Chain A
Amino acid sequence: MIKLEGLSKVFPGHSIPAVKDLNLEIQEGDVCVLVGPSGCGKTTTMKMINRLYEPTGGAIYIRGENALQMDPIKLRLDIGYVIQEIGLFPHMTIEENIATVPNEKHWPKDQTKQKVEEVMTLVGLDPEVFRARYPAALSGGQRQRVGVARAMVSDPPIMLMDEPFGAVDPITRARLQNEFLRIQERMGKTIVFVTHDIDEAIKMSDTIAVMREGELVQHATPSDLLSAPADEFVSNLVGRNRSIKRLHLIRIQEILEEVDRTKPATEDAKVDEIKKQLEESDIRSVMVVDRDNKLKGVIGVSDLKQKAGEVAGDYCSEVADTVTSDATLNDALSVMLECGEGYVAVVNEDDQYQGTVTLGDLLNVVKEDS
């Protein structure tokens, strides 16, 4: 889909090239993450793909066509572009911002309007609420969503994303990443994604291209990168705790079937039964759900000591935080650490109980791998 051949860039007035003889091929539908320390040429490489920077050597092929011979405006209109600072236009409403590319392409008004609504819903912004707002009235996370929506609205086959989730807090970032992966699963776009965060790279990518001082050091799948780093630079970048990094690669749904789940108790289950169940096994708590399988709370061994009533509903205490099954094991781990519990409940979008992941499950995964 995208092929970079001997790509180089020397900025005027600099003797050292920013990008040196780079060869990289990205398959259709893949997310390729360019990762490396700042100044390694990853952003420069990305900006050459949509020709914000003109390469000083080499060639770029997009679907076999030489991008350097195409009209840059036409080229850019078909490449979604998200930058770190988002670059929303402060004098335009969210709707106008998202409609930028359709307006440049002179789409009919109804089509633009419909597509804007569609893409806003896709990124989780209610069109009725946000359409007429200005960027200044949005939170950091919402602006990032608008940035992504704006890049996707004309359904470009290729997207370039330069640290698109950089400017938000870690929790929002994890959520945006998961949402984005969910969208990408459906859309199957070819994405070039730039980040300096190796954890994000491992999480988001199909392939990772590690860069240093303008050169490509290694291009491999995240799993290969973790198990066989090409040199010391890559293994330093990946870090010592590689087995923990693997937790970024595995989604909860992948292990949920394997782990031995204790059945949740219903709200109106007899307390005595639960007591017996807990005493017989080595588990120390049981989840409580209502009739619609919605998570109500959790009963721990200590909760049962005081006498509050006859049924489970009277005893259960609220669960501090939950994860969805498309979150990674690393997300599950951080929730556990935050709540100070050895488990986390997994729910779907409607808050229905899916299962529980424990610290032990995570340890097993890490053990298997190493």
Chain B
Amino acid sequence: MGQIIGCISDFFRVTGNLTLLSAQGEDPGLIRETINWISRRSDMLLDLMVGHLYLVVVTLIIAIAISVTVGIIISYYEGVAQTVLGICQILMVIPSMAMLAFMVPLFGIGFTTGVVALVLYSLLPIVRNTYTGIRELDPAIVEAAKGMGMTERRVLFKIKIPLARPVIMAGVRTAAVMMIGIAAIAAYVGAGGLGELIFSGISRGHQPMIIAGAIGVSIIAVAFDYLLYYGEKRFSVEGSTREGE
């Protein structure tokens, strides 16, 4: 239930932000106009949605690989953990427009720049959740594993990661939803996706385009979050039988 409410609130957050850009006064014909536009240009909309999704999926895979590794490493080195988390935090609060602008001189214009910027944004939620997920495991469980003769490697892969997975996945979902929203802005540096529709809508003053883009982004965000949530639940059957639940 909470999940559904979460999805709906994600939906309104994404749609709300983007429609606000364009909502100048009431226009009774706007909804009809939008529907007309979508049905006329559904091919283009679908293409852009696929592009958007592609950008997000590629970014997410790279982000998970980097962030989970970093999270695991800093869980062993308490000293550097706070510094690393601090850096991730700083990266996340840089305004997205500014971040993208920084990236252009380094990576030029295009897909790569978008991916790099989005990866930097999504570091914090995944790194932090991986770190906390591992650090907050019941120490008795880890001690029992070590005391019985498991090597540190085995403890990590057999005990720590499986047990921290729900927390890590929560971080991934947060990152994914955030990324889908920011990916729209990445169109600004030519990374493609639904942002193109929104930006050209804004520059042409054509509201149906903006709304169609926003709706596309919302659908992707909700569907993605739902997929990750239920995918994870299906994947961990024992999730419901864990201690203390």
Contact = CB atoms under 8 A, between A and B. Distances in A.
Contacts of B245: 136
A89 B141 contact: yes
Most buried by B among A50, A91, A136, A137: A91
B162 to A, nearest CB: 5
Contact of A81 (B144, B151, B162): B144
Given A73-B151, A81-B144, A136-B242, A87 B163 contact: no
Contact of B149 (A76, A86, A87, A136): A76
Interface string B134-149: 0000101111111111
A361 B211 CA distance: 91
Nearest to A138: B243
Contacts of A101: 148-149
Interface string A70-101: 00011111110101111111110000000011
B148 A86 contact: no
A62 to B, nearest CB: 14
Which range contains the number of A residues in contact with the other chain?
A: 20 to 34
Interface in B213-245: 236, 238, 241-245
Contacts of B244: 136
A83 B162 contact: no
A136 B239 CA distance: 11
A149 to B, nearest CB: 12
Contacts of A83: 140, 143-144, 147
A91 B162 contact: yes
Contacts of B143: 52, 83, 87
Which range contains the number of B residues in contact with the other chain?
A: 20 to 34
Interface string B145-165: 111111100100001001100
Contacts of A151: 148
Contacts of B140: 83-87
Interface string A38-61: 000000000100101000000000
Contact of B148 (A77, A134, A137): A77
Contact of B147 (A78, A81, A89, A136): A81
A90 B147 contact: no
A134 B237 CA distance: 11
A84 to B, nearest CB: 8
A87 B144 contact: yes
Interface of B: 138, 140-151, 154, 159, 162-163, 236, 238, 241-245
22 contacts: A50-B147, A73-B149, A73-B150, A75-B149, A76-B149, A77-B149, A79-B149, A83-B143, A83-B144, A86-B144, A87-B138, A87-B145, A88-B141, A90-B238, A90-B241, A91-B162, A91-B238, A101-B149, A104-B150, A136-B242, A136-B245, A150-B148
Interface of A: 47, 50, 52, 73-79, 81, 83-91, 100-101, 104, 134-137, 150-151, 160
